Chains A and B, each alone.
Chain A
Amino acid sequence: MKLLRMKPGHGEIVLAEGDVEVPAQEQELIEAFRRELDAGMWAAVPSETAGGRREAELVKSFAEVPRDAERVIFFPRAAGGAPGASL
């Protein structure tokens, strides 16, 4: 499993990577996960429905992440309002 974070001026960076079946690596993943949530990030797990449609799932704790998930993507939490330029 990889924990990725979107970053301005860079694109995504890999925060942690490991096998959830290996306790030490899982612990590292959990700690990295908590750090990001504490920093105010949202965490999403990209997935695919049984019908083949791609979607994502927002998770609030590491326990909610499916064990077979390949990636968790962190991104800054949504805030209302956007720059005012017109298209």
Chain B
Amino acid sequence: MALALGTGAVVLVVLVWELMRPTLAHTLARARHVWALRTSAGAGSYDPGRERRAEQRARALLRSCVDEHDWSMYRDLGFLRVWGALADRNGGEGAAYAYLIYPHKPIVAYVPDTGELLNEYCVAFPDDSKPYGSSRLPHSDDVLAKWMALTADERRLIGEANMHLPGRQIDPERVCRDLARLDRWEQQRAQRSKLGRHGNVRAA
């Protein structure tokens, strides 16, 4: 009797196991797949705040490298002006030509006296290691890289760039508007500075 019951139990267990096996295997495979997805998501997941934090760091670095006037220009207008230094050795204000640096756009050369656009210099700083899947630096780092390369070795940077006529990538009307904005911005700044000085004199 006991033997029959034991045999029956064994047969029952085997039958149940055979019935359950495909379901168990399927469940196990799904669990493995979900686990793998979660693990890979943890390593390279999309972080919506990463680019913003990167840009904040880049802005702080840019601010620490350029002077106050240039930083304010970039903060208020979204581009930087760098005076050309190849035509006259001194460069600086009053140079024969200047550049506008936009983030991730070509550098635009122009004549400050007339506003005439000269060339677009297409240049990029791709990081092939692509640490977060992109080779593009944050906007302000791109501007800083162009600024450093231009102020340090203008000839070398321009030599590396692809030169095009104005309008190839940046709308010339947009650049003209930016030059007008820059002009107004500098006038307002000069007025504020003048008023500030008068105020200080009166206060004294």
Contact = CB atoms under 8 A, between A and B. Distances in A.
Give the bracket for the number of chain B residues in contact with chain A. Answer: 35 or more
Contacts of A66: none
A23 interface: no
A82 B145 CA distance: 14
Given A44-B149, A53-B67, A75-B137, A82 B104 contact: yes
- Interface residues of chain A: helix, strand, loop or mixed (majority): strand
Contacts of B55: 11
Contact of B131 (A7, A80, A87): A7
Contacts of A9: 50-51, 54, 131-134, 138
Contacts of A44: 148-149, 152
Nearest to B102: A87
Interface stretch (B14-22, B26-34, B121-129, B186-194): B121-129
A58 B159 CA distance: 15
Interface of A: 4, 6-12, 39, 42, 44, 46, 52-58, 73, 75-87
